[in-house]
Amino acid sequence: MKKALRVVASLLLCSAILSACGGNGNNTGSESPAPTNNSASNNTEEATVKIIGFNKEETRKSYLELLRQQFPNYDIQFQFVDNKQFKNVVTTYLASGEGPDIIEGTESSWIAAGYLEDLTNQPFVSRYYDTGIKGFTQNGKVYAIPLQSWFEGIWYNKEIFAQNNLTPPKSFDEWMELHDTLRNAGVKPQAMGAKSWESMMKQSIGVALNDFYSKPEGKDFDGKFGTGEATLSEAWLSAFKKWDETIAKKNLTPDMLGVEYDQALDEFATGKAAMWESGPWAYETLLQKNPNLKLGMFPIPGSAEGSGWLVGGPGSSWSVNKNAKNKDAALKVLDFTSTPEAQAALIKDNFGTSFLEGVDNSGIPEQYADSKAAFDEGHVYVPWGNWGTLAGNDIIMELGKQLQDHLAGVKSIEEVLKNTDKKAEEIRNSMK
Amino acid sequence: MKTTGWNLKRNVTFQLFVLPALIGYLIFYIYPLVQTFIYSFTNYSLYHLDMEWIGIDNYTRLFKDDSVIIGIKNTVIYALLITLLQNGLAIPLAIALNRPLKSRNGLRLVFFAPAVLSPLVVGFLWSYLMSSTDYGLINQALRAIGLNDVNWLGNPKLALYSILLTQVWQWTGYAMVIYLANLQGISKDYYEAASIDGAKAWTVFRQITLPLLLPSISFNTVMGMIGGLKVFDVIFAMTGGGPGHSTETIVMTLINKGITESQFGYGSSFAVVFSLLIMIVAFIQLKVLKKWEERLF
C-alpha cells in the first residue's frame, strides 16, 4: 500500500512537470456577433457590463449615470486602475482569457495577440470622423471608438497673473520671462509632479509640436519613426534643447522629482504655484480643493510667436474584449456611446471635443478660452498614437524616465533622446 | 521495522492528509516553475503567441541589458544593507527589552507595531512624509531646526537609501521579536556563572549571548536577505522605480519586461536567473553561519 502511494505521488509529480511542458493553446476568441441594430431601449436581457479605465470614475460620472438609465437591466460596473499599472493589469486579465468587457484604450500588443474585438463592421463606427477612428485602426481594422478628445496645457492662476500684470505667453521666451517675473515676486512659477514620468514628457513634446511637427519635415515623421526609418535624436533634438532652457533657468528643479502628481495639484490649487501642467480631468478636483480658484489654461508655446499647441488627440477610447462574457451587451453600450446624448455626458465631466459627426463642438468653457486659437487652428496632437506598431506607452514611459534622469543631472538631453531611440529599437526587435 | 496493521493505517491516513497540500504545491508551484523555465528558452510574447525555441538568446540578452545591471546592483545593495541594519539594530534592541523594565511591554509593542502594516501603506505614508513640497513633514522638521531640505525621493543617489530607511523602521521590530524569543530560551545559569567569574558585559555578550543567538541570527539574516532580494511593493509605492531607473530592482525589471512590455519569454529568463541567485545566496549564507556555529561550539 505504501509503495502504491509512493507511485501515485510520483505520477502526480511527473504529470505536473509534463503538463507544464505542454504547448500553449492558441488564443481563440468567440466569433464576432452580427452588428447590432437593436435600439437599446428595446433591450430586456439582463447582463453585467464591466468597464475598466485609467480615468477616474468622477470624470465619467454623468456618462455612467446615463448608461444606467439607458440600460436599467444592465449592471454597469466601472473599475479604475491608475495609468501607472493600467497596461499591466489589463494585459494580465486579457492573457488569462478573462477580464472586463469594455477597456479604455488599445495597445498594439493587445491587437497583435488577438485580444480585442474587430469593430470594423459595427454600424456605429461609421458615425465618427476618420480623424477620430484613424488612431485605433491597424491593418485596415478598427479596434476601438474614440471618446472625447483629451488635451493637456498649462493651467494658470488668473489672480496671481493679474496681480503681477501677466498674460498667457505667446512664445517660449515670453513664458521663460514670465517665470522670472513670478519668481522675483516671491511666487513659485510652476508646480510639477516630476515623480510621474508623464509631466515632463508631455511638456517637452509640447515644444516639439510647435517647433518640429508644425513644419513640413514633421508631417511624415511619426510613420517613419514607427518603422525605424527616422530617430527622435535627429528630429526632436532642437525642440528638446529649447525646452531644456526651462531646466537651465531652474523653473523645473530636481526637488520636483520627489513630488507626486496629486501633490503638485495641491500646490497649484492652494495658490502655492502660479502654473501647473495638466488637463480638463483635473478641473473639478482643483475646484473642490479651492472653490475660489480662478483658473485658465493656455497652450504650450514654441520658439516662434503663435497660438501654441496642446498635447492631446483622439482621447482614450472604448475597445471590447474579444473574450468578453457579455460581448453583445458591451457592443450595445458602444452603440449608445456613439450618440450625441452620450457624447455630451462624456464631455460634461471631462471637457474635450467629440469625434462623432454632427456633434456641436463650438462651445468652449470659459476656462479654456485662452486655448481657443489653438483649437481653431487644430493645434492639438499627440505623436505616439501614430507610431504604428510602436504605439502605446512603452516608449513615452522610457522618455519620461530619461527626462527624470536629465532633471537630476545624470544624463544630457542628447542622451535622453538616444536612449529613447534605443528603447524603440529594442521593442521593434522583440516584435520580429 | 515490521509494519503492523495499525501503523500502516496511520501512515496511509497521514499521507492522505498531506495529499491536498501536495496537489496544491504541484499546481501552484511546480507546474508554473517548470513552465517558466521552458518559456525562458522561447520568444514567447504577445507578438509571438505561437512561441519558437530560441535557445539561450534570452539569457545572453539579459546580461547585456543595462536595466538588468542596474536592477541587480540596486537589489544587492538594498538586500545587504537591510539585512545588516535590521539585525544590527534588532539585537541590542532585543537585549535592552529583555531586561526587567517596567515599560518593556509597551516598548516592545511600539517597536513591533510597524511590522503589521502593509508595505504599500508604509510606502505611501512615507512618500508623503518625505515629500519635497511644503507638506513634507520631515523637511518641515529639518527647516524648524535650521537645516536645509533634503530631496529624499527625488535625488537618484539618495532615493534607494531613503526607501531602505523606511524598511529598517518597519522590520527591525519583527527581527527583535525573534531575538527576544531566543534570548528568553537562554538559561540564566550561563550568566550567573559569568557573573561569578567577573566577566564584563561585552565579554558576556560576545562569549555567551551572541553564540546562543545563532539560531535566530541564521533565521533573520537568511529571511532578511531573501526579503531584500524580492523587494517590490514599497519601492513601487514610494518611487515607482524612479527617478529614472535609479531605484529599480530585479523584480521591477522583471515586471517591466515580462508584463508591461509583454515579453513573457524574456521575463521568464529573469525569473530563472533571479531564483538561482536567491538559492545561491541562501546556500552560502547557511553554510557560513553553520561553520560559525561549529567554530563557536
User: What is the pLDDT, as a whole number, of residue B294?
Assistant: 76
A20 within a domain of the structure (yes/no): no
Same domain, A309 and A410: yes
Distance, in angstroms, between B253 CA and closest chain A CA? 13
Distance from CA of A226 to the nearest CA of B (A): 16
Q: In terms of domains, do A227 and A268 share one?
A: yes
Quote the pTM value.
0.82
Same-domain status, A190 and A337: no
Predicted pLDDT of residue A39: 44
Establish if A99 belongs to a structural domain.
yes
Separation in Å, CA A98 to CA A89, A91, A261: 11, 10, 31
Q: Is A240 exposed, middle or buried, given 0-12, 13-18 or 19+ CB atoms closer than 10 A?
A: buried
For residues A130 and A167, membership in a common domain is answered with no
Pick from A377, A353, A380, A357: which is nearest to A365 by CA? Answer: A353
How many Cβ atoms sit within 10 Å of the Cβ of residue A39? 10
Domain encompassing residue A210: 150-313+380-431
Q: Given this model, what pLDDT does residue A78 score?
A: 96
Q: And the C-alpha cell for A197? A: 514620468
pLDDT at residue A158 in the model: 98
- Write the DSSP assignment of A212-278 as a string of letters: IITSGGGTTHHHHHHHTSS-HHHHTHHHHHHHTHHHHTTSS-GGGGG--HHHHHHHHHTTSEEEEEE
pLDDT (tens digit per residue) in A187-237: 999 999 999 999 999 999 999 999 999 998 898 899 899 999 999 999 999
DSSP A149-174: -EEEEEEEEHHHHHHTT----SSHHH
The answer, yes or no, to whether residue A25 has pLDDT greater than 80, is no
Question: Which residue type sits at B9?
Answer: K
Is the domain of A268 the same as that of A206?
yes
Nearest to A366 by CA among A293, A281, A296, A415: A296
What residues of chain A, 330 to 389, have a C-beta less than 8 Å from chain B? none
A64 and A121 in one domain? yes
DSSP state of B117: S
Percent of chain B with pLDDT over 90: 60
**Whether A89 and A178 share a structural domain:** no
By Cβ distance, the residue of B32, B50, B132 closest to A255 is B132
Query: A404 CA to chain B: closest CA distance, Å?
Result: 5
* Separation CA B192–CA B205 (nearest Å): 13
Say if A96 is an interface residue toward chain B (CB within 8 Å): no
What is residue A14's predicted lDDT score, i.e. its pLDDT? 54
Domain B65-296, CATH number (from 2.60.40.2700, 1.10.3720.10, 1.20.1250.20, 3.40.50.1380): 1.10.3720.10
Q: Looking at CA atoms only, how far is residue A95 from chain B in angstroms?
A: 9
Identify whether residues A227 and A129 lie together within a single domain.
no
Contact between A112 and B46 using a beta-carbon 8 Å cutoff = yes
The three three-digit cell numbers of residue A25, written as one number: 493553446
pLDDT over threshold 80, residue A403 = yes
Say what the pLDDT of residue A275 is: 98
Q: Chain A: nearest CA to B143, how far in angstroms?
A: 15
Find the CB nearest B259 among A88, A114, A402: A88
- Inter-chain residue contact A19 with B45, CB threshold 8 Å: no
Residues A145 and A186 in one domain: no
The reported pLDDT for the residue numbered B9 is 67
Which pLDDT does position A94 carry in this prediction? 92
Cα separation, B266 vs B258, whole angstroms: 7
Q: Do residues A332 and A102 lie in contact, with contact meaning Cβ atoms separated by under 8 Å? A: no
pLDDT at A411: 95
Cis preceding-peptide flag for B243 (omega within 30 of 0)? yes
Q: Is the pLDDT score of B253 beyond 70?
A: yes
A225 with A289, same domain? yes
At A31 the pLDDT is 38
Residue A110 with chain B: CB contacts under 8 Å: 46
Residue A408 lies in a domain: yes
Residues 6+ apart with CB under 8 A from A30: A322, A323, A327
| Partners of residue A92 in chain B, C-beta under 8 Å | 259
Do B152 and B219 touch, CB atoms closer than 8 A?
no
- The residue type found at A127 is R
What is the structure's pLDDT at B8?
Answer: 63
Mean pLDDT of chain B: 90
Q: Do B49 and A24 touch (CB under 8 A)?
A: yes
Please judge whether A410 and B12 are an interchain contact, meaning their C-beta atoms are less than 8 angstroms apart: no
In degrees, rounded to 5, the angle at the alpha carbon of residue B217 between the alpha carbons of residues B211 and B219 is 135
- Contact state of B151 with A84 under an 8 Å Cβ cutoff: no
Query: Where does residue B147 fall: left (phi above 0), alpha (psi -120 to 50 degrees), or beta otherwise?
Result: beta
Mean pLDDT of the region B111-138: 91
Residues A351 and A229 placed together within one structural domain of the fold: no
- Calpha distance A181→A160 (Å, rounded): 11
Mutate to test the interface with B, among A257, A323, A416, A429 (most CBs of B within 10 A): A257
Residue A133 has pLDDT above 90, yes or no: no
CATH of the domain at A160: 3.40.190.10
* The total number of structural domains that make up chain A: 2
**A400 has a pLDDT exceeding 60:** yes
pLDDT, tens digit, 9 for 90 and up, residues A233-272: 999 999 999 999 999 999 999 999 999 999 999 999 999 9
State pLDDT tens for residues B68-117: 889 999 999 999 999 999 999 999 999 999 988 889 899 999 999 999 99
A338 and A418 co-located in one domain: no
ipTM of the complex: 0.82
Identify the CA nearest to B230 among candidates B282, B161, B152: B282
